[in-house]
Amino acid sequence: MSDELNRMLEASHDGITVFDFDGMTVPCIIFEVEKYDRILSLVAGRPVSIDTDLNILQDGLGHVFVEVMLAFSISNITEKILVNADVHLDFFESLAKTSMLAISSPKSHYGADNVFMINLPRPDKAEDALNIICKGLANGRKD
């Protein structure tokens, strides 16, 4: 395994999950309690938009990682989360299907309370990203 692949694996965010919300599977990024509380304290009760970018990184051998960039319109909050798409394909499938993204903390009850929901303004971009991810992952399975 290459050094770069090892670095990517080590840098991948552990707090990636999906949960059921009113019958929909919603993707969720779990932040450390302090970081999540800081974000909420800066944006709660204020009108905010969140620019969400998915930067797809692949090596042509079936390893695909996605940098999820969240840029909040207020308080200069920017978060970059590296997701191993091979391990968390369900995260991207539900993102493309629902056009919603949740952020939360480990102390939250996913789908019940203390979850911050983000509605993606361009659902087609999540669908395009899922197609690119699936093609990249398929490159490693051609054997």
With H, G, I as helix, E, B as strand and everything else as coil, classify residue 23.
coil
Q: Lowest mean pLDDT: which of 27-36, 80-89, 115-124?
A: 115-124
* Averaged pLDDT for residues 60-77: 93
For helices 123-138 and 89-98, the axis angle rounded to 10 degrees is: 150
Side chain identity, residue 95: L
* Averaged pLDDT for residues 18-26: 91
Say what the pTM is: 0.91
The alpha carbon of residue 51 and the mean position of all alpha carbons in its chain are separated, in whole angstroms, by 13
The alpha helices in the chain, defined as continuous H runs, are 3-11, 33-43, 89-98, 123-138
* Averaged pLDDT for residues 19-32: 92
Q: Which two tokens stand for residue 102?
A: 């949740």
**Minimal CA–CA distance to 19: which of 75, 79, 103, 76?**
103
* Averaged pLDDT for residues 78-88: 96
